[in-house]
Structure 1
């Protein structure tokens, strides 16, 4: 076993998987630690597809531990609700499969009320109790995770700021973020949806929005394709996860006149048959490099005319995870119908991973 790190954490081997580029072009440190804190590392990062290979000089063993632990973490945000606990347990299963450490993050924001020229805050003792409650929440969730996954590497933190600010900051060094979707009533759903959208828009890594009822990724992985840069990132993530979990892949592409930037009824515009042939060719180009890289992943191709969000929501009924880019190519369509990723986080029947081209 590798020697203990200076902060008392323990390094151990764990595989890292980061998707490589497709052939087609176009495309924070923890403030506190859970007592059972363990960090994962590999003894020779230069031989893997991961963050260890980007540095100019070889790392010492302790540097390797710090770098890989920071960049491979699965970060899950919790607020004490039953759904956030379930999301954390789902994320723990994902982290275990990925061989990644897990970080459980909480936040408590002090409200201020405008009174004349000054702001009045809640009493300090009430504020302290709120922070203690948040700390108990992350500690209890960590205990629940370790009870089910005793070999997991778990850290925790509670920050005095908004949940969005916490998650975005942690995304700078995380492998991916996981947040829960409560869906408990129209007002709560609208507020949560706004926060989720803010996180996915600003995150430096993929964001998974957990959906109620999700248990494990044992069904096919569904990926939405439109040829955009973020879609290409999503395709790479989808292939990598499908290979890792030993499941098949469903590649779906929906097109309409607005997504093509033209109305089919206009003179001189291409007919639907021609557009569909172009879209099938686009899908083949998007998948070509990845299909060769992951020959173990069987792929089902679906190309249909219609609304992308509607198609993906319907297909999500038989998927374990949906992977999409944060925004696609159809600017006009987004303006009229809204973001596909935003629609999915509210209506999909399984967790949704949102990828950015970063």
Structure 2
């Protein structure tokens, strides 16, 4: 797998070749220098002159004979079709100097990132990159994360490659909307601001309960990174374009490199949805690595260590609790959740938004009943148990929100064997909706 370095033809020497050569020497990979005219006519004289200039650069790199190859191409599409590019380990490109056609909005580095099969490094501030590759300094890397995005998984996975090159301090940065996160997690908030505590009247502020969940989710997404360097989670509340907020954090924290994932989309979808990675590429003052989502390695499925069981106190939910116990084993956690379906007379919640606790008049009794379902045998004492009662009109949504708050690995729900007997009994329709809407795996325990 080669290190491919793309440089514009006819532009004075820039530092991307030096960065690519340092990477090739560090990783022990061959280096391919490609001069690209990017759609402009390429005469024989221009081609020969450009090839001689590349070969002169290669001679000054002090790499072993045969490790460097040089080519000149008239269009990037030709480069992308070649095996060396499609199977490259890194693609290194100059940030400036490209003769982009007026009808093309995207620069060549952007098109490389969209179409390239490997991570694309767009070089700015080359001194920091060269010193890092040669072991002279530690690199500060900002990586855009999102617990709900597979493209962010690809960016996080690339951090392991970076740490194989040299030590890196990581800023795992998540840009999010506080209002949307409160809705996703079911963190209840009074609608009328005067009901809130004075310190919490900013509806755009980061709720401490939301912050706790987001920190856990980001740490789980990043996982344990091998190699040298610290990892810091940065939660950035923001509205509008996420790329602007990522670049703001990169600038204020003095990052040397920004790593973002890129989704493979057609031109129409890119126009409609926009692209965080394209915004970062165009406006960043730092070097940028775009990692295509095709490089996202699927995570290996692990046995569940935490299970949520929706409870309606029927025989079916008791079977689900028994099944959950057997799945998590000793040291695992089982969370029992009861959803109080809001009824016509429930007027106490009209000034609140989101999933709410059980009504005050029923809360203590409901928690006592939930704790009463926890087995008392020795194996149960080796497990962790927690209970919760919430209220809501949409039972399936309330369960989904609880899975996000608790961060469980699995939902284990029992299906009723007969007609619905009580106001809070879970009908079969709720189970079907839960399977369709929940991000976590759902195990359905059939009736006896």
1:87 aligns with 2:1: no
1:141-185 per-residue CA deviation (whole Å, 9 max, x = no partner) reads 212323xx56892111223x4124314534311101111111799
Match of 2:340 in 1: none
Please say if residues 119 and 292 of structure 2, whose CA atoms lie closer than 8 Å, have aligned partners that are also in contact.
yes
Question: Within 2, Cα distance between the matches of 1:282 and 1:237?
Answer: 19
Q: Does the C-alpha gap of structure 1 residues 248 and 215 become closer, same or farther in structure 2, counting only changes over 3 Å? A: closer
Match of 1:178 in 2: 92
Matched position secondary structure for 1:248? strand
1:107 aligns with 2:30: no
Shift of 1:110: 7.2
Matched position secondary structure for 2:229? coil
1:296-340 per-residue CA deviation (whole Å, 9 max, x = no partner) reads 431111111115322322343422322110149xxxxx8789422
1:13-92 mapped onto 2 (5 Å cutoff)? 71=1, 73-80=2-9, 85-92=14-21
Worse-matched range after superposition: 74-83 or 187-196: 187-196
Matched position secondary structure for 2:8? coil
For normalisation by structure 2, the TM-score amounts to: 0.50
Shift of 1:249: 1.5
1:199 aligns with 2:112: yes
Q: Does the C-alpha gap of structure 1 residues 166 and 276 become closer, same or farther in structure 2, counting only changes over 3 Å? A: same
Shift of 1:347: 2.1
Q: Does the C-alpha gap of structure 1 residues 82 and 93 become closer, same or farther in structure 2, counting only changes over 3 Å? A: farther
1:321 aligns with 2:257: yes
Match of 2:217 in 1: 282
Q: Which protein has the larger Cα radius of gyration, Structure 1 or Structure 2?
A: 2
User: Which consecutive aligned stretches of 4+ in structure 1 deviate over 6 angstroms post-superposition?
Assistant: 187-190, 257-267, 334-337
Question: Within 1, Cα distance between the matches of 2:15 and 2:257?
Answer: 16
Q: For this pair of structures, how many residues does the alignment match?
A: 262
Shift of 1:280: 2.2
Match of 2:152 in 1: 231
Please say if residues 325 and 356 of structure 1, whose CA atoms lie closer than 8 Å, have aligned partners that are also in contact.
yes
Instruction: Note the aligned Cα RMSD (angstroms).
Output: 3.9
Question: Within 1, Cα distance between the matches of 2:89 and 2:236?
Answer: 32
Higher relative contact order (CA 8 A, sep 6+): 1
Worse-matched range after superposition: 187-196 or 75-84: 187-196
Match of 2:242 in 1: 308
Question: Within 2, Cα distance between the matches of 1:300 and 1:322?
Answer: 14
Shift of 1:80: 4.0
1:194-226 per-residue CA deviation (whole Å, 9 max, x = no partner) reads 322222111111111112554423421221101
From 155, 174, 199, the counterpart of 2:69? 155
Shift of 1:257: 6.2
Runs of 5+ consecutive residues of structure 1 not aligned to the other structure: 1-70, 112-121, 329-333
Match of 2:57 in 1: 141
Q: Does the C-alpha gap of structure 1 residues 270 and 137 become closer, same or farther in structure 2, counting only changes over 3 Å? A: same
Q: Does the C-alpha gap of structure 1 residues 257 and 189 become closer, same or farther in structure 2, counting only changes over 3 Å? A: farther
Runs of 5+ consecutive residues of structure 2 not aligned to the other structure: 192-202, 265-269, 295-448
